Structure 1
């Protein structure tokens, strides 16, 4: 299965966004503790994507470096920061092999990234390597309650995939976050988690279906194309029979969790 990362980049940016007030709260939660301890800090974001976390930091005038393996994602972000990106550097690179000197950054940010690597330990060690003593590691993720229409649609799709002989495995992201936390604690560090923003998204069944169709979630990437196509056809048919209006929005409550870990001086 070959993914069209140009298409995915623009679709991701269109659908996986934070409202402006939420983006502001997340940026403040990240930059405030760093600014208290360092003068003219430099931020690095791993898997920067299209910049939904990075752009608000850039807009505040901080020095910022973003890395991603997808040139398409970086191109979308580059377009978004045109005119305000004087202190920004975007680099096509793997988080497990960063092209930066030891102690180059005062803060490293990783949002929804650890579950993308089987060997996530390499990325974590690289983050530590490029952090200055006393620097911060910030991990962030979106969370929502399971009881909503979007989740119901995904679970119905899981049933159709099962009928096709494919077992859709979920929960890797949360499992990986727990593994990383354990690793941090074993190193004698003190990761602290905090809900820094809450909001409600209005999403229609059609949008939920389109997000799955675009393969925007990483758990969709490994599904063989024939099974993916046939199961989605069943899902669309089920949705048309289930919802009187595919464009009637439903509410999804979200929270953004930030885990902060400060290295020793």
Structure 2
């Protein structure tokens, strides 16, 4: 049986993955951003996780440096990338101290990363340090329309508040704004566009599992006992609210890409 960190990594891989056609659209957009530079591009992803962004790019032939601080995430990714290992270099390292020389990669990819780092400025400085002149910083994020999954998350937050545990939401969006402002202060010109919109199906049971396994950043700081009690009450609430926990509901999502090219 896998240990708890590896179990969580597999849950993340299953519940946070992109549908193949969506992953392909994201890879195409990123590939266009690094095309036409006259040499074989090298891509570095910070916080690569289990490879949901990386694998479609690796499959297209890009040389890839996959960095993550979580060995369980890298372990799952390595197993998935076994057939294309010659194109991948794995780095168990901190995005705030990238073990690469200056001006060594053509693109740095950061998807859902900045809000996980209190001192994100160090990671941003490191990302810009390792980029070649003319290289590009690619930041990506999802936007989820409100719906049953959001209602579950909000109810979880309310149950914790009843125990005196306050959960901060919205940090991801604020952090993206802060990073954008920092890039503009450096004289750079970040450009954002929507890459793809899609609909998935999710069951209440899957949404509960994602919360239970703490797959979202806003769950990380909650004390374990409070989280366990809230999940027990949330499960009972979900059964009353939704009835069949295995009946799927639609989830509307969009993926955005912000590109910032060095001069």
Aligned to 1:40: 40
User: What are the ranges of 5 or more consecutive residues in structure 1 without an aligned counterpart?
Assistant: none
Is the 1:38–1:106 contact (alpha carbons within 8 Å) kept by the matching residues of 2? no
Q: In structure 2, the residue corresponding to 1:90 is in which secondary structure?
A: strand
- Alignment map for 1:97-116 (pairs within 5 Å): 97-116=97-116
Residue 4 (structure 1) shift: 3.4
Is the 1:68–1:74 contact (alpha carbons within 8 Å) kept by the matching residues of 2? yes
Check if 1:246 corresponds to 2:245: yes
Residue 132 (structure 1) shift: 0.3
Q: In structure 2, the residue corresponding to 1:22 is in which secondary structure?
A: helix
User: What are the ranges of 5 or more consecutive residues in structure 2 without an aligned counterpart?
Assistant: none
Aligned to 1:201: 200
Residue 79 (structure 1) shift: 0.9
Residue 32 (structure 1) shift: 1.4
Aligned to 1:131: 131
Q: In structure 2, the residue corresponding to 1:246 is in which secondary structure?
A: coil
In 2, distance between residues paired with 1:139 and 1:235? 33
- Deviation track 1:40-83 (CA, whole Å, cap 9, x = no partner) reads 11000000010000011111111110100011111111111111
Aligned to 1:23: 23
In 1, distance between residues paired with 2:32 and 2:153? 37
Check if 1:230 corresponds to 2:210: no
Check if 1:92 corresponds to 2:111: no
Q: How many residues align?
A: 261
- Deviation track 1:186-214 (CA, whole Å, cap 9, x = no partner) reads 11111000111111110011111111111
Residue 37 (structure 1) shift: 2.3
Is the 1:58–1:85 contact (alpha carbons within 8 Å) kept by the matching residues of 2? no
Aligned to 1:152: 151
Is the 2:197–2:254 contact (alpha carbons within 8 Å) kept by the matching residues of 1? yes
Please report the RMSD computed on the Cα atoms of aligned residues, expressed in angstroms.
1.1
Name the TM-score, length of structure 1 as normaliser. 0.96
In 2, distance between residues paired with 1:96 and 1:237? 41
- Alignment map for 1:204-215 (pairs within 5 Å): 204-215=203-214
- Structure 1 stretch 22-31 or stretch 4-13: which is displaced more? 4-13
Q: In structure 1, the residue corresponding to 2:85 is in which secondary structure?
A: coil
Q: In structure 2, the residue corresponding to 1:37 is in which secondary structure?
A: coil
